[in-house]
Amino acid sequence: MDCQQLSDLLPVGGEKVTMEFFQELVNILMGYIFKSNQRSTKVLDFHHPHLLTESLEGFSLDLPYQPEAPEQILVDCGDTLKYSVKTGRSCHPRFFNQLASGLDFSAGEWLTSTANTNMFTYEVAPVFILMEEVLLRKMQCIVGWSEDEGDDIFCPGGSVSNLYSVLVARCHFYPEVKIRGMSALPCRLALFTSEQGHFSVKKSAAVLGMGSDNVVVVKCNERPGSRPTNSRPTAERKSATAICAAGLGTTQKLKGWRARKMIPSELETAIMAARVKGLVSFYVNATAGTTVYGAIDPLSAIAEVYHHNTLWLHADSLVLSWNPHKMMGVPQQCSAFLFKKKGLLQECNQLCAEYLFQSNKHYNVSYDTGDKNIQCGRHVDVFKLWLMWKAKPEHSNVCFWYVPESLRNLLWSPERNRMLHQVAPKIKARMIGYQPVGSNVNFFCCVFSNPATKEDIDFLLEEIDRLGGDL
Ligand SMILES: Cc1ncc(COP(=O)(O)O)c(C=O)c1O
């Protein structure tokens, strides 16, 4: 390679050396993708942190004082991928562990980082700002809101969407908090989520100064027949229930799956109990696709409770967090926050910094979205979803228990349960992560949005059975 150091690249250096360097990088990326796509490649070559920090096989994480040669930079790029998990994003057909998956829309991410711009003003991101507008209008339309009533923003993930939802709810009821702080509130506020709700609701309450203790956890229903009453041989692992979180793709729900959803009457009771304690109930978070079970809370029934009690509902008609980087398979990060009161987010966050948001620009400044969010600069998350919209991939979320052979003939008892709950952590150490839910410790939730075939799924189940054979 003619390039002696990275400063030889454009704009200082020439096109030839720039092309050579990036061509090499693309070769490394493509080599990684092709290798990841082979079933014989390990999903992860795991090393303990002390080994990775101690220059494993010459790969050093230390930062030198002198610039390294481009060849070394490329070697570092290769090593970084070598020790990374071959996720579904890099196309490994046997990565079932986390949500992000599928190679196709990485192209959108490549293009986005090449354009490397910022979503705070129209003048620096004209195409992406308009794309965001088009896409968010489509999403609003799917939700059922007209152009006049809906408003929206892309934000860094579901947790931040949840934070926004609490923020706008508080701004709606108590706008003076923006200036005067929490002392403007007449009393403590109570928030509600289900026991399967995501922890980011509590985190939002903590970040916004409301206190995580003031998030009331509402009971969920049980899955009919979820407690094993006697032995269930291999059928137990084969009777996995397929469900799907809310998203663009198909939503398939197996008949009879009515479990782990918020119980509306319990919400009503919790609101009464909060009132008795002197708290003002102002926000309820309902989930359309809970983290582990993928269950969808009964939104209409919950909406009735909130209308009754004048609350602000997240996920139904007022505020919605939609995360294409989960079940829709869009690369991290891609999350939209939609709400039904135009201008509220602007009102909530606007500070009119003059160096960015001059009102006398030569274009319509309502396209400068930077002042309606809690950040300053904002990453371009829209392009990969805009590309994906044309293809609409499918996915499913499969939850199952694994019962090792040694326990299959035991009748249900606390002792059997205790032994069963030791199984999943052992399987994780050998192969695949698990997602404990309450007392159901031995529980797996696999998201299939990677290119897995039926054989891959059989392989997964057989591996779990093989590795659990001696448990
Ligand atoms: C229901 C639900 N809400 C919010 C989140 C948080 O999303 P993010 O990781 O994008 O912040 C998750 C994450 O799994 C989730 O399952």
With CA atoms as reference, report the closest residue to 96 among 432, 441, 462, 371. 432
Ligand 1 within 6 A of 165 CB?
no
pTM: 0.84
Topology of domain 113-388 in CATH is Aspartate Aminotransferase; domain 2 (3.40.640)
383 C-alpha to center of ligand 1: Å? 21
Return the axis-axis angle of helices 15-36 and 70-82, rounded to nearest 10°: 20
Looking at residue 40, the DSSP 8-state letter turns out to be T
Return the pLDDT at 105.
67
CA distance 265 to 276: 17
CB atoms within 10 A of CB 470: 9
Q: CA-to-CA distance for 71 and 19, rounded, in angstroms?
A: 14
C-beta 323 within 6 A of ligand 1:
yes
| CB distance 200 to ligand 1 below 6 Å | yes
At 121-146, the pLDDT tens digits run 999 999 999 999 999 999 999 988 88
Centre of ligand 1 from the C-alpha of residue 158, in Å: 5
DSSP 244-262: --SSSS-----TT---S-B
Evaluate if residue 225 carries a pLDDT over 70.
no
Average pLDDT over every residue of 312-336: 80
Query: Is 196 touching ligand 1 by the criterion CB < 6 Å?
Result: no
Question: Which sign does the torsion angle of CA 138, 141, 143, 145 carry?
Answer: positive
Domain spans of the chain, in order of start:
6-86, 113-388, 396-467
For the Cβ of 291 lying below 6 angstroms from any atom of ligand 1, the answer is: yes
Counting ligand 1 atoms within 8 A of each CB, the residue from 97, 198, 325 with the most, and so the one to mutate, is 198
Candidates 125, 45, 158; CA nearest to 370 is: 125
| Cα(5)–Cα(9) distance, integer angstroms | 8
- Tens-place pLDDT, residues 354-408: 999 999 999 999 999 999 999 999 999 999 999 988 776 566 677 888 888 888 8
